[in-house]
């Protein structure tokens, strides 16, 4: 019975400490030091929340930049005419499977059709594959630049204007050498729509 009391006391103590006290202290510290990140880096303009800088949103309309394939339900993302702007494509397919090979071939065909100016130029891999989490909000600079001609054509802009937007939405390497430069797809698309 003595061991049971000790075990029960341990469970209660660690539940209170780890489940409540630690959580509240860390939440408080993050809210004070990093409030934007702690709250999901939601992009809000004039009271309208457009999404999080931290979660991928897969756009399919030719007038928007396309990101990585996402694993979230985006069925509610529709334009003013009710057309779906995004889609979810969760996949646990092995890269060695025939189904995965067919899926990649479909994506390559779609991207080539939407970007005829690129001809047979190699497509950056992040435009045709999922990330490990399936939720990445960013793509490589090469993947963003691959879409410049289409975005300029579809939005009645010059390539220079589109490149300027991409440059503004580029996340640079930490301290100039850690990581890779990436482009936030949601920010680019909101700038294309002149929302931000």
Instruction: Give Cβ neighbours of residue 142 (< 8 Å, ≥ 6 apart).
Output: 124
Q: Is the pLDDT of residue 12 over 70?
A: yes
Q: Is the pLDDT of residue 82 over 50?
A: yes
Q: Is the pLDDT of residue 77 over 60?
A: no
Cβ contact 43:193 at 8 Å: no
- Domain locations in the chain as residue ranges: 1-39, 55-192
The whole-model pTM stands at: 0.76
Q: pLDDT band at 92, cuts 50/70/90?
A: low
Q: Is the pLDDT of residue 70 over 80?
A: no
Q: What is the pLDDT of residues 130-163, one digit of tens each?
A: 777 778 899 999 999 999 999 999 999 999 999 9
Element (H, E) at 103: helix 98-114
pLDDT at site 89: 47
Tokens of 33: 């030091």
What are the distances in angstroms from CA 109 to CA 93, 97, 141, 148? 19, 19, 21, 18
Alpha-carbon distance of 153 to 157, in angstroms, equals 7
Q: What is the mean pLDDT of residues 22-51?
A: 90
Cβ contact 184:57 at 8 Å: no
Mean pLDDT for all residues in the chain: 87
* % of residues, the chain, pLDDT over 70: 87
pLDDT at site 140: 96
pLDDT at site 175: 83
């Amino acid at each position: 019975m003595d061991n049971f009391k000790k075990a029960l006391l341990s469970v209660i103590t660690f539940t209170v400490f780890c489940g409540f006290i630690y959580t509240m202290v860390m939440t408080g510290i993050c809210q004070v030091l990093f409030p934007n990140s702690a709250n999901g880096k939601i992009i809000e303009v004039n009271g309208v929340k457009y999404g999080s800088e931290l979660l991928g949103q897969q756009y399919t309309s030719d007038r928007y930049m396309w990101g990585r394939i996402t694993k979230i339900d985006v069925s509610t993302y529709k334009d003013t005419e009710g057309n779906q702007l995004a889609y979810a494509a969760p996949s646990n397919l092995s890269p060695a499977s025939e189904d995965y090979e067919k899926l990649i071939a479909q994506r390559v065909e779609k991207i080539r059709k939407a970007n005829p100016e690129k001809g047979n130029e190699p497509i950056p891999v992040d435009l045709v594959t999922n990330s490990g989490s399936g939720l990445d909000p960013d793509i490589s600079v090469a993947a963003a630049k691959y879409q410049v001609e289409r975005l300029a054509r579809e939005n009645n802009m010059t390539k220079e204007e589109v490149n300027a937007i991409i440059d503004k939405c580029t996340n640079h390497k930490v301290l100039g050498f850690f990581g890779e430069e990436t482009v936030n797809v949601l920010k680019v698309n909101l700038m294309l729509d002149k929302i931000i």
